Structure 1
Amino acid sequence: MAGLVNGVFRPKVSKYLRQLIKHVQETEGEDSGAYKALVNQYVYSEKEEEKHEEVNLKHYEAIVEEDDSKGLPKGIERLYRRQLVIDITMVCAAHCRYCLRAYYDTSQLKKSDIDRIVEYCAKDINLKEVLVTGGDPFMVPNLLKYLITTLVEKAPNIKVVRIGTRVPVQEPKMLNDEMFSFLKNYSKSLMIEVAIQINHPIELQPVTLEILRKLQDSGVRIYSQNVLLKDVNDDIDTLITLYDELRYLGIEAHYLFHSIPMKGTNHLRTSVAKGLKLIKQLTSSGMISGRVKPTYALMTYIGKVTLYDGTILKKDDSGYLHIKTNYRVSDRQIWNETYQLPKDQAYEDEDGFIIAKYLDGDDHTHIAVNLIDGDK
Structure 2
Amino acid sequence: MAGLINGKFINKVSPHLQRLMDEQKEKYGDNSRGYQALYRQFVYTPEEEAGQQEENLKHYEACVDHTDGLPRGIERLYRRQLVIDLTMLCAAHCRYCLRANYDYTQLSKSDVDDIVKYVSEDPELRELLITGGDPFMVPTLLKYLISEVVQKAANIKIIRIGTRLPIHSPDSFNTEFYQFFNAYREEVQFEVACQCNHAVELTPETEKIFRKLKKSGVTLYAQNVFLKGINDTIEDLTELYDRLRYLGFEAHYLFHSIPMKGTHHLRTSVKKGLDLTRQLTASGVISGRAKPSYALMTYIGKVTLYEGSIIKKDDDGFLHIRTNYTVKERQQWNPTYFLPENNAYIDEHGFIVAKYLDGVDD
Shorter-normalised TM range: over 0.9
2:211 to 194, 210, 213: 213
How many Å apart are 1:62 and its aligned residue? 6.2
> Separation in 2 of the partners of 1:316 and 1:167?
39
TM-score (norm 1): 0.95
Query: Which structure 2 residues correspond to residues 256-335 of structure 1 after superposition, within 5 A?
Result: 256-335=254-333
8 Å contact from structure 1 (residues 64, 74) kept in 2: no
Alpha-carbon offset, residue 63 of structure 1? 6.7
* Structure 1 counterpart SS, 2:12: coil
Structure 2 counterpart of 1:48: 48
Q: 1:258 to 1:49 in 2, by over 3 A?
A: same
CA distance in 2: counterparts of 1:15 and 1:303, whole angstroms: 34
Alignment length (residue pairs):
362
Residue of structure 2 aligned with 1:104, choices 102, 105, 111: 102
Choose 298-307 or 56-65, whichever is displaced more: 56-65
2:324 is paired with a residue of what secondary structure?
Answer: strand
Structure 1 Cα separation of the partners of residues 66 and 346 of structure 2: 27
Q: Give the letter aligned to residue 52 of structure 2.
A: H
1:55-112 C-alpha deviation (Å, 9 max, x unpaired) = 1111212675544xx5420100010000000000000000000001101110000000
Cα contact 1:192–1:220 (8 A) shared by 2: yes
Give the distance between the partners of 2:56 and 2:181, measured in 1 at CA: 36
Q: Tell whether the 8 Å contact from 2:87 to 2:131 is kept in structure 1 after alignment.
A: yes
Change (3 A) 1:4 1:159: same
2:27 is aligned with what amino acid?
T
Trace 1:64-83 onto structure 2 (pairs within 5 A). Answer: 64=64, 66-67=66-67, 71-83=69-81
Counterpart CA distance in 2 for 1:222 and 1:115 is: 27
What pairs up with 1:1-376 in 2 under 5 angstroms? 1-61=1-61, 64=64, 66-67=66-67, 71-363=69-361
SS at match of 2:93: coil
Q: Structure 1: which 4+ aligned runs deviate by more than 4 Å? A: 62-66
CA distance in 2, matches of 1:72, 1:199: 34
Q: Using the TM superposition, give the Cα deviation of residue 176 of structure 1 relative to its aligned residue in structure 2, in angstroms.
A: 2.9
Worse-matched range after superposition: 174-183 or 210-219: 174-183
Structure 1 residues 65 and 174: alpha-carbon distance in aligned structure 2, compared to 1, 3 A threshold: farther
Answer with 51-60 or 289-298: which moved more: 51-60
Pair 138,63 (structure 1): closer, same or farther in 2 beyond 3 Å: farther
Pairwise CA RMSD of aligned residues? 1.1
The alpha carbon displacement at 1:189 in A equals 1.4
Q: Deviations over 1:7-27 (max 9, x none)?
A: 110000001111111011101
**TM-score if structure 2 supplies the norm length?**
0.98
Aligned residue type for 1:15: P
Contact preservation (8 Å) 1:81, 1:127: yes
Cα distance in 1 for residues equivalent to 2:345 and 2:158: 32
List alignment gaps of at least 5 residues for structure 2. none
CA distance in 1, matches of 2:218, 2:115: 23
Amino acid paired to 2:340: P
